[in-house]
Amino acid sequence: MSTTPTAELARFIADLRYENIPDPVRERVKNILLDTLASAIAGRHGDETQQIRALAAALGAAEEASVIGDGKLSLAGATLLNGYLITAVTVCDVHRPTLFHTTPQVVPPALAIAERDGASGRALLTAIVAGLEVSTRVALGTNYPAFRARGWHSPGVVGPFGGAAAVGKLRGLDAERQRNAFGLAGSQSAGTFAHWGTPTIKFHQCRGALSGLMAGLLAEQGFRASTEILAHTDGGLYTAYSDGGRPEAVTAELGSRWTLEQIALRLWPAASSIQSLITALLALTQAHDLRPERVAEVRIGLSQTVYDMHGTLPWDDKFKALLSTPYVAAIVLHDRRCWLDQFEPARYRDPAVGAFARDKVKVEANPAVEGTAALVEIRTTDGATHVDRRAVAKGDPADPLSRGEIEEKLRVAAAGLMNDEAVARIIALVDRLERLDDARELLAAARHPRGAVAATAAARGR
């Protein structure tokens, strides 16, 4: 095999062993997996979850792969639905440098193949490491500003590579077949920001998971693809989707610097780019015991990019409410918390909350604010002003969630859906994942009786 970015990445995945992975990286990925399961269980409350489940059920009648918090579907159906569940209520991870949600594309195909094959927990963990590392490296190679300027959405474009890496690792693909898997992944790369504000932006993630699954399984059969999907001058990913990209970033310090450690986790179900805002608002609320009736004005400074996406978005449905800076600021100050019940119709249609968001919350693009940082100034009725300049959100690598905080996120997500014993078992199994002889033990714990999603939706009046 020639020395190209795709070939080097394929060789790295083919040669990757559990023993090559540093202990901190293993623990980090276990945290990411536990967070992913929490996100998927929360995703059962998604408005479109039933529609995706119907599509997933139509892909095959077999019951061979577990749906997180539900029963079993076909290999393809479970991969698709799990991918959507993880992202359904916007509480999954984000790789901030490339605005890329990695876990919806990587974890579902890894779980499906590990369960089908009875792989060990150690093999599953290694596969997830492979998928996350490939995802973030391929994403970094896009030269994200140029990539985003063309309207591309990272999860749909880059995501299939991560799924293909995870499947290839579990199936033991050699370097050549793994390279073909990446070529097949790239042939399915798609997804643009034209869908912003609609659930199709989340469909990119679950479709990416299914694409990665197909890429890995087809490459296993010896199916050939481009020998250089990333940097090919005629239709390579970086040429077609960017300005030639940064192919050198794909393999820089490969195996010694783990780019997956840049993945951030989300504590609250809201847009990834306004997590710093929520962090700041909750800090100010707790420090100064702020109440809506005491607030005269809230001024929020965002970067131009974040302002354009979230600064003026209306909150006339759940998904837009999750993305809207004015609404999120208003509801956090009213309820002093941020979880799914803050985004139900009864809350986002509340006249008092709406009036507060329209009349008292002022959002602006501030040239002094960079990336996903936030500047919050709250003036109270007694004339005091309280300020929080928040560079990073809680959950970012610079301010990471502890294992205990992730466990609490799972408990909150599972409330009313799983009992305490079931939650405790999931936590215990993830904690000792590398010691499990069969990963199906974890899948069985994360599964719920068939129809749980439908029953939940019916109970909520959908």
pLDDT of residue 45: 93
Report yes or no on 440 lying in a domain.
Answer: no
Sheet holding 374-380, edge to edge: 361-365, 295-302, 374-380, 385-390
Domain boundary among 331, 362, 390: 390
Structure tokens at 451: 């129809």
pLDDT reading at 460 higher than 70: no
What does 160-225 look like in DSSP terms, one character per residue?
A: HHHHHHHHHHHHT--HHHHHHHHHHHHTT---BGGGTTSTHHHHHHHHHHHHHHHHHHHHHTT---
Contacts of 68 (CB under 8 A, 6+ apart): 37, 40, 41, 82, 85, 86, 111, 446, 447
247 and 222, same structural domain?
Answer: yes
The identity of residue 21, as a single letter, is I
pLDDT of residue 53: 97
pLDDT band of 2, cuts 50, 70, 90? low
Structure tokens at 243: 């300005």
Q: Return d(Cα 39, Cα 19) in angstroms, integer.
A: 29
Structure tokens at 410: 């799972």
The whole-chain average pLDDT of the chain stands at 95
Structure tokens at 69: 């918090």
Report yes or no on 441 lying in a domain.
Answer: no
Q: How many domains does the chain have?
A: 2
217 and 339, same structural domain?
Answer: no
pLDDT reading at 457 higher than 50: no
Domain boundary among 367, 390, 413: 390
Strands 295-302 and 361-365: parallel
Distance of CA 90 to the CA centre of its chain: 8
146 and 289, same structural domain?
Answer: no
pLDDT of residue 175: 98
Among positive and negative, which fits the CA dihedral 455, 195, 250, 220? Answer: positive
* pLDDT tens profile 396-415: 999 999 999 999 999 999 99
Report yes or no on 208 lying in a domain.
Answer: yes
Domain boundary among 362, 390, 418: 390
Which of 135, 214, 123, 136 shows the shortest CA–CA distance to 172? 123
Structure tokens at 30: 């276990």
* pLDDT tens profile 33-72: 999 999 999 999 999 999 999 999 999 999 999 999 999 9
154 and 123, same structural domain?
Answer: yes
Check which CATH number belongs to the domain holding 250 and give it: 1.10.4100.10
Q: Return d(Cα 405, Cα 401) in angstroms, integer.
A: 6
pLDDT band of 450, cuts 50, 70, 90? very low
Q: Return d(Cα 54, Cα 61) in angstroms, integer.
A: 12
Q: Which long-range contacts (CB under 8 A, 24 or more apart) does 407-411 make?
A: 407/34, 409/35, 409/38, 409/91, 409/267, 410/34, 410/37, 410/38, 410/41
Q: Average of pLDDT values for 97-121?
A: 98
Q: Average of pLDDT values for 371-386?
A: 97
Residues 453/44, Cβ–Cβ less than 8 Å: yes
281 and 258, same structural domain?
Answer: no
278 and 252, same structural domain?
Answer: no
296 and 162, same structural domain?
Answer: no
Report yes or no on 39 lying in a domain.
Answer: yes
Beta bridge partners of 152: 192
pLDDT reading at 80 higher than 80: yes
167 and 66, same structural domain?
Answer: yes
Q: Return d(Cα 55, Cα 75) in angstroms, integer.
A: 13
Task: State the DSSP code for 270.
Answer: S
Strand residue runs (E) in 205-326:
295-302
362 and 251, same structural domain?
Answer: no
Q: Cα angle vertex 302, ends 296, 306, to 5°?
A: 130
pTM: 0.95
134 and 153, same structural domain?
Answer: yes
Structure tokens at 286: 């707790």
Report yes or no on 327 lying in a domain.
Answer: yes
| Distances, alpha carbon 135 to alpha carbons 75, 209, 418, in Å | 22, 12, 31
258 and 222, same structural domain?
Answer: yes
Check which CATH number belongs to the domain holding 359 and give it: 3.30.1330.120
* pLDDT tens profile 181-217: 999 999 999 999 999 989 999 999 999 999 999 999 9
Q: Average of pLDDT values for 294-305?
A: 97
Q: Which domain, by its residues, includes 311?
A: 272-390
Neighbour count for residue 292 (Cβ, 10 Å): 14
149 and 53, same structural domain?
Answer: yes
Report yes or no on 430 lying in a domain.
Answer: no
